Structure 1
Amino acid sequence: MDELLRQATTILLGMWKRRWLGIIVAWVVGLASVAAVLAIPDKYEASARIFVDTQSILRPLMSGLVTQPNIDQQVMMLSRTLITRPNVEKLIRMADLDLGIQSKGERDALAENLMSSLKIANTSRDNIYTINYRDTQPEHAKRVVQSLVSIFVESNLGDARKDSESARKFIDEQITTYEKKLEEAEARLKEFKLRNLATQSAEGKDHFAQMSETGALLEQSKLALREAEQSHEALKRHILGDEPALLPAPVQENISGVSIPEIDSRLDIMQRNLDAMLQRFTEKHPDVVSARRLIKDLEEQKREEIKARRKVAQASPATSMSTNPVHQQLAISVSEAEANIAALQTRVAEYQARYDRMKEAVKLMPQIEAEFAQLNRDYEINKNNYEQLVKRRESANMGSEINNTVGVDFRLIDPPRVSPKPVAPNRTLFLPLTLLLALGAGIAVTFAASQVRPVFFDSRSLRETCGLPLLGTVSMLTNDATKRSQRRDLIRFAAACISLVGAYGAGLLALFLFSVRTA
């Protein structure tokens, strides 16, 4: 610790030795820095505020039906990409900043300066954008802000609309491509169905289901054929068997199986009349009783007629065979049975042929079904993609119509205006900084001078630096004249330091009074 204090004391004494050099450097640096601060030209700031209204009652109503871009994000991206080289060059022409430009280098430098000086700030919640620009000439600053506001408003998301048009064009191209693919897939599927028409069914059943159904129909047809053959044999036995079997026994009174047309027609009419009267009257009504009596008389008459015919048939059997209605009915039934047997035989043969063909085609069905599944899968994929693209195109078209109808509203809240007083440089802040810079420069110079030409103030420092033995030291005795000279020198140094600080204070006071007077 003592060593550090000794070194610090040595350094401070060396700097004090060069104090006049430091105060001169401080005055020079102070005057130069003050002149530099005062030489900085005043800059005036022009600003404008724009409100971008992206809200519309139509957008939430059409939500989910159309493709709606994120308008807020597009406006924010537009604000961030507004200060680009093409827009800045357009702004230079609109603000007439290129009137004094003589070369391309000057134009490029002006464009770079504008791109670095223009500022666009926004509050993301309210969509309010502020445009700021500073220039030494107030009118130039105002024209630049006015031109940038015009470019901002006139752009009106034109690039976003171009992107929408490009997206719709891409979707149209994809729709055309998938339409061709869909037509090709439909043609392949149609060709496959025509080539394998025998393996398909209208109900959409596969080959094994059709084969099972055909087998069931074949068994049913065979069963029906056997039933028809048995019925035919029974009818033939009735015809070729004993004759009394053709006519009912004489003791039987059943007349329902024998037909006498003239009596049966009257019985039918009377029975219908009786049914109609029973719907209106009871059993005891005179008309109902009379109708039942007439029906009974007709049935008795029919019964007597049948008895008479049976007697005639027993007397001449040969004649009764040809005229017997039962025999005629049996002959007709035999003919119908034979026709039915022929039809069933044809049906059985057809079903048997179908079943045999399906049984032979079983070996090829896995390959056919695999090919059909592949074709159908390709067709479904192309169809789904095509339908999705068509829906998206309609949604994009409707969204574009909504954007064209609703649009984005740019409202100029604060028109471009210039601050009446300069906003830069802040001399009241720079002048104290120049004082600190001057003092720092003086101290740095004295320190550097003390290190370049060091002075030894004690025997120990001299011995450590030289590395030689020191025999002794001689003290210096100051007289009164020397003390008075040192005192005057100290007073002059203090006056120089105080005058430096006082000059800065006077300058700050004058600057403050000037700013208050011009306010």
Structure 2
Amino acid sequence: MHDLLDQLSGYFSDIRSRPWHVILTAWCVACIGWIGMLNIPDRYQAAARVYVDSQSLLRPLLSGITVQPNINEQVTIMANTLISRPNLEKVARMTDMDLLAKTPAQMERVIADLNKNLTLKSTGYGDLYTIAYENRNPTLARKVVQALLTIFVENGLGNNRKDITSSQKFIEEQLKDYEIKLETAENDLKNFKIKNAGLMPGEMGQDYFSKISDMQDQMRQTEMELHEAENRRDSYKRQLSGEDPTLLTDAISSSNTPEIDARIESLKKNLDTLRLKYTDQYPDIVATKNLINELEASKKKESKSRKPLSGSGPSTLYQQLNVSLVEATAQAEALKGKLDAYHSQYAQLRGQANRIPEVESEYAQLTRNYDIYKKNYETLLSRGESAKLSGEMQNKTDIVDFKVIDPPRVPLTPSFPNRPLLASIILLGALVCGLALAFLIGQLKPLVRSKKSIEAITDFPLLGIITLIENAQSRTLKHRSRIFQGISLGGLFVVYAGIMTKYLMSAAQ
């Protein structure tokens, strides 16, 4: 530790023994630095602060009714892309900087300078932005900031309206396309139903297999009724074959066949009821018509064959049996025709068995397409109304409000260089350079300062020391030298103080 202190003391003695090296070096370095500082051109920075207010009162009121984009995200993206080449070219045109560029290379330098010196910063809240630009011309700096601020506000308002307009146009085009698709799907579905009438799934509340089962039940029921009608007809024939037609009084022979008339009237009423429900081709209607025609023919035939009242006529029982036979025969024929019609329909249904799955599959596909088109059309229609309302809201109100907190102004003091700070750094650097030079010379040309240094250099023991006694003239010269050293060093600080005073007073004004 003692050796280290001795070594440091030796270094300090080397520097102290060469004060003029320190002072002259400091003066040279300081003068060169300050002259260079004065030659650095001034640069002025213009700045503006703008607040983006996206908290509109209409947004919560119209939530769920209108399309509300993420305004904060859009503003962030717009801010990040503000300093782009198209915008920089627009700024150059707005500030007439493009007039200074005579060639494409010069224009590239203008764009590069704008890109280098333009800054856009956001605060921690994300809603307050600072636009700054630095240039040698303070007026031009303000113009550039004003131009970029204008572009920032216009893009913020214009992009939202442009997005809404584009969305409305796209939705309208899609609505027209889906309207055509929906009409086409409706026509295809209608034509398919007409073409495959009777084969549609669930038609008349029944499917194909239910129709087959019902048709089989109706056929069995009709066969039973036909069998009963044929038995009655055969029974009447057997009874008529053993009856004497001449056992009757004159009173009965004068009858106008009231049984046939009553039967015809009942069948006509039943026919009217059936026509209210079915078409004329329905088997029951056809059978009823045939039965009425047969009864009418039987009535006419009986009227023609009737004998005068004064003579002998057929017996009452014979007439009744004859009418019953005619009715039973007509009913049997009608049921037979009805059964034949059922057999024909059953055969037709059985023949369509292979067609049913194909019809159901195609019908399901057509229905699915129609439902999809209808759902998309209704969704687009709803979205179109929302987009329309959003456009009205954008046009009549300001969803995003740009508030300029600090407008750009022409700067009066340069932002670069900071000459007071730079002058202080130059002074400190000059002193360090002087001390370093004195230390370096001391290492190259060391001086003997102590007994140990002599013994270390000569490797001989020191036998004695002779003290130097200064006379008056030597002391006077040494004193004057120290005065000049102090004046020289003080002059350096006086010059520094003058520089600081000048620029601090300029900044205060």
TM bucket (normalised to shorter chain) is 0.5 to 0.7
Shift of 1:119: 3.8
The alpha-carbon distance between structure 1 residues 366 and 480, as it changes in their structure 2 partners (threshold 3 A), is farther
Partner in structure 2 of residue 292 of structure 1: none
Partner in structure 2 of residue 213 of structure 1: 211
1:481 pairs with 470, 480, 505, which one?
Answer: 470
Partner Cα separation in structure 2 for residue 373 and residue 347 of structure 1: 32
Partner in structure 1 of residue 422 of structure 2: 430
Once the two structures are superposed, residues 115-148 of structure 1 have per-residue CA deviations (whole angstroms, 9 ceiling, x without a partner) of 3333445568695555444444443333333433
The unaligned stretches of length 5 or more in structure 1 are: 246-258, 262-315
Letter of the 1:334 counterpart: A
The alpha-carbon distance between structure 1 residues 474 and 236, as it changes in their structure 2 partners (threshold 3 A), is farther
**Is this contact kept in 2: 1:54–1:71, CA < 8 A?**
yes
Partner Cα separation in structure 1 for residue 214 and residue 232 of structure 2: 27
* TM-score, reference length from structure 1: 0.63
Partner in structure 1 of residue 281 of structure 2: none
Q: How do 1:275-354 and structure 2 match up within 5 A?
A: 318-322=314-318, 324=320, 327=321, 330-331=324-325, 333-354=327-348
Q: Does 1:406 align with 2:397?
A: yes
**Is this contact kept in 2: 1:41–1:136, CA < 8 A?**
yes
Once the two structures are superposed, residues 299-327 of structure 1 have per-residue CA deviations (whole angstroms, 9 ceiling, x without a partner) of xxxxxxxxxxxxxxxxx995222555xx5
Partner Cα separation in structure 2 for residue 202 and residue 369 of structure 1: 6
The alpha-carbon distance between structure 1 residues 113 and 227, as it changes in their structure 2 partners (threshold 3 A), is same
Shift of 1:218: 0.7
The unaligned stretches of length 5 or more in structure 2 are: 244-256, 260-311
Letter of the 1:430 counterpart: L
Shift of 1:222: 0.8
Q: How do 1:338-377 and structure 2 match up within 5 A?
A: 338-354=332-348, 356-357=350-351, 361=354
The alpha-carbon distance between structure 1 residues 73 and 230, as it changes in their structure 2 partners (threshold 3 A), is same
Q: How do 1:127-276 and structure 2 match up within 5 A?
A: 127=127, 129-155=129-155, 157-159=157-159, 161-162=161-162, 197=196, 200-201=199-200, 203=202, 209-234=207-232, 236-237=234-235, 240-241=238-239
Once the two structures are superposed, residues 211-258 of structure 1 have per-residue CA deviations (whole angstroms, 9 ceiling, x without a partner) of 343134313321342144225524653674599x9xxxxxxxxxxxxx
Q: How do 1:375-414 and structure 2 match up within 5 A?
A: 392=383, 395-396=386-387, 398-406=389-397, 410=402
**Is this contact kept in 2: 1:214–1:354, CA < 8 A?**
no
Partner Cα separation in structure 1 for residue 446 and residue 367 of structure 2: 100
Q: Does 1:26 align with 2:26?
A: yes
Partner in structure 2 of residue 78 of structure 1: 78
Partner in structure 2 of residue 295 of structure 1: none
Q: Does 1:470 align with 2:459?
A: yes
Partner Cα separation in structure 2 for residue 341 and residue 458 of structure 1: 153
SS in 1 for 2:409: strand
Partner Cα separation in structure 2 for residue 461 and residue 189 of structure 1: 117
Partner Cα separation in structure 2 for residue 189 and residue 463 of structure 1: 121
**Is this contact kept in 2: 1:119–1:133, CA < 8 A?**
yes
Partner Cα separation in structure 1 for residue 443 and residue 373 of structure 2: 87
SS in 1 for 2:202: coil
Partner Cα separation in structure 2 for residue 238 and residue 456 of structure 1: 169
Letter of the 2:492 counterpart: L
Partner Cα separation in structure 2 for residue 368 and residue 461 of structure 1: 120
Partner Cα separation in structure 2 for residue 10 and residue 77 of structure 1: 65
Partner Cα separation in structure 1 for residue 403 and residue 111 of structure 2: 27
The alpha-carbon distance between structure 1 residues 317 and 108, as it changes in their structure 2 partners (threshold 3 A), is closer
Among all aligned residue pairs of Structure 1 and Structure 2, give the percentage whose two residues are the same amino acid. Answer: 33
Q: Does 1:500 align with 2:509?
A: no
Letter of the 1:24 counterpart: L
Once the two structures are superposed, residues 133-168 of structure 1 have per-residue CA deviations (whole angstroms, 9 ceiling, x without a partner) of 444444333333343344444445445555556666
Partner Cα separation in structure 2 for residue 130 and residue 368 of structure 1: 70
Partner in structure 2 of residue 254 of structure 1: none
Partner in structure 2 of residue 112 of structure 1: 112
Partner Cα separation in structure 2 for residue 205 and residue 322 of structure 1: 48
SS in 2 for 1:417: coil
Partner Cα separation in structure 2 for residue 509 and residue 43 of structure 1: 20
Once the two structures are superposed, residues 12-31 of structure 1 have per-residue CA deviations (whole angstroms, 9 ceiling, x without a partner) of 44444554323322222222
Partner Cα separation in structure 2 for residue 124 and residue 65 of structure 1: 32
Which segment drifts farther, 198-207 or 139-148?
198-207
Partner in structure 2 of residue 285 of structure 1: none
Which segment drifts farther, 345-354 or 405-414?
405-414
SS in 2 for 1:116: helix
Shift of 1:345: 1.6
**Is this contact kept in 2: 1:56–1:406, CA < 8 A?**
no
Q: How do 1:5-84 and structure 2 match up within 5 A?
A: 5=5, 7-16=7-16, 18-50=18-50, 54=54, 59-84=59-84
SS in 1 for 2:470: helix
**Is this contact kept in 2: 1:75–1:157, CA < 8 A?**
no
Shift of 1:353: 1.3
Partner Cα separation in structure 1 for residue 447 and residue 166 of structure 2: 81
Letter of the 1:90 counterpart: K
Letter of the 2:397 counterpart: V
SS in 1 for 2:68: coil
**Is this contact kept in 1: 2:423–2:496, CA < 8 A?**
yes
**Is this contact kept in 2: 1:211–1:355, CA < 8 A?**
no
**Is this contact kept in 1: 2:45–2:133, CA < 8 A?**
yes
**Is this contact kept in 2: 1:200–1:206, CA < 8 A?**
no
SS in 1 for 2:114: helix
Partner Cα separation in structure 2 for residue 241 and residue 344 of structure 1: 27
Partner in structure 2 of residue 442 of structure 1: 434
Letter of the 1:320 counterpart: T
The alpha-carbon distance between structure 1 residues 367 and 330, as it changes in their structure 2 partners (threshold 3 A), is closer
**Is this contact kept in 2: 1:218–1:351, CA < 8 A?**
no
Which segment drifts farther, 58-67 or 372-381?
372-381
Partner Cα separation in structure 2 for residue 130 and residue 424 of structure 1: 19
SS in 1 for 2:63: coil
**Is this contact kept in 1: 2:233–2:329, CA < 8 A?**
no
Partner Cα separation in structure 1 for residue 112 and residue 180 of structure 2: 52
SS in 2 for 1:418: coil
The alpha-carbon distance between structure 1 residues 344 and 181, as it changes in their structure 2 partners (threshold 3 A), is closer
What is the aligned length?
441
Partner in structure 2 of residue 91 of structure 1: 91
**Is this contact kept in 2: 1:222–1:348, CA < 8 A?**
no
Which segment drifts farther, 178-187 or 14-23?
178-187
